[in-house]
Amino acid sequence: MPRSTKELTGKEKAAVLLIGLGPEVSAKVLRHLTDEEIEELTLEIAATRHVPSELRNQIIKEFHELVLAQTYIAEGGISYAREVLEKALGRDKAVDILKRLTSMLQVRPFDFLKQTDSMQLLHYLQEEHPQTIALVLSYLEPKQAAEILASLPPERQGDIAFRMATMRGASPEAIYEVERILEQKLASTGIADITQVGGVDAVVQILNLVDRSTERAILEQLETTDPELAEEIKKRMFVFEDIVLLDNRSIQKVIREVPQEDLVLALKGASEEVRQLLFRNMSQRMAESIREEMEYMGPVRLRDVEEAQGRIVGVIRRLEELGEIYVRRGGEDELIE
């Protein structure tokens, strides 16, 4: 048996804890678990031959600290828990406990900002370094992040979007420090060695929610900074199923621009909602012809379907850039026919 808790898995720690608690208390704990969890822990306990008292005490202490931290979070949120734990155990220990606990509870960093008004948060963020802003926006809900990004000066938007898209990870210590500074600035009350944040998907989610002019300005800056990254973001911003975001006139324009063989292949792998939407926007004769081709062509390769859908998406983006069709976005009002 290892002599350090760092060498044990979560299941092994749980088994040692139950052994240390004794049969009566352990029985009460097991009543709250699923049959599968009980079976796994029972096997783990049976496989545990000897537990050094020092190791058992370490695990019980670790468990006690986690329970305390969870109690503090329930009483006053992450900020309050951090403050109390720092005073009681020191900064490093507090960070370690909260990192493990928030990971188990699935509490995201900067969770306290969810209830903060976007414009108020913008006021405190706009003077920060672009990398700091990128880090914070990566953790916010896409709608809130989009509002803030759209309100920043145009010359900063592309830089921040680029930093988000190319961000690979952030250490808990760096996240902790930024959280602490923001909490102090906002006077608000209510974490794995590398936490995955940012990335292309985060930028795509945000750009899908900003207004068209902000999106265009950011993409133009990214095209100058990193053309390949800009193209990757463009590809992910609109997928074939997003055709439901087009108004009827735009869909009819797309249908006229796309070869029928591409429509047949694309619809072969489309959802029923998308199929019916396109059929409603084409002539009855064309719809019947496409249905017949889809029926008689039999199984098709997924790659062929995706390539056809990709070509149609390319047509949609080209027509949108030319101003010939309209794609409804989160930051814009709908058109009235």
With contact defined as beta carbons under 8 Å apart, do 204 and 236 qualify? yes
Q: For the CA atoms of the chain, what is the radius of gyration? A: 27
Residue type, 166: T
Identify the three-state secondary structure at position 59: helix
pLDDT score at 65 = 72
Q: Examine the pLDDT at 293 and tell me if it is beyond 60.
A: yes
Quick check: 170 and 134 in contact, CB under 8 A? no
CB 268 within 8 A of CB 309: no
Q: What mean pLDDT do residues 104-118 have?
A: 65
In DSSP notation, 127-191 reads: TS-HHHHHHHHHHS-HHHHHHHHHHS-HHHHHHHHHHHHH---B-HHHHHHHHHHHHHHHT----
Least confident of 29-43, 74-88, 112-126: 74-88
Tell which wins on pLDDT, 153 or 37: 153
Nearest to 160 by CA among 188, 125, 195, 192: 125
Would residue 17 be called left, alpha or beta, if left means φ above 0 and alpha means ψ between -120 and 50 degrees? Answer: alpha
Q: What is the mean pLDDT of residues 226-237?
A: 82
pLDDT at 2 over 60: no
Stretch(es) of the chain classified as CATH 1.20.5: 200-236
* pLDDT number for residue 222: 86
Q: Residue 286: is its pLDDT beyond 90?
A: yes
Average pLDDT over residues 194-222: 71
CB-based contacts of 335, cutoff 8 Å, min separation 6: 247, 326, 328
pLDDT confidence of residue 112? 66
Q: What is the pLDDT at residue 230? A: 83
CATH architecture of 240-322: Orthogonal Bundle (1.10)
**Across 246-269, average pLDDT:** 92
- 190: number of Cβ within 10 Å: 14
Q: What is the pLDDT of residues 23-32, one digit of tens each?
A: 777 777 777 7
| C-alpha torsion sign, points 172, 178, 181, 183 | negative
Q: Is the pLDDT of residue 282 over 90?
A: yes
CATH 1.10.220.30 intervals, the chain: 111-188, 240-322
Architecture in CATH of 200-236: Up-down Bundle (1.20)
- Does this model's pTM top 0.75? no
In CATH, what number does 111-188 get?
1.10.220.30
Q: How far apart are CA 172 and CA 99, in angstroms?
A: 7
Q: Which long-range contacts (CB under 8 A, 24 or more apart) does 7-13 make?
A: 8/59, 11/40, 11/41, 11/44, 12/44, 12/48, 13/59, 13/62, 13/63
Closest CA to 83 of 180, 219, 197, 200: 180
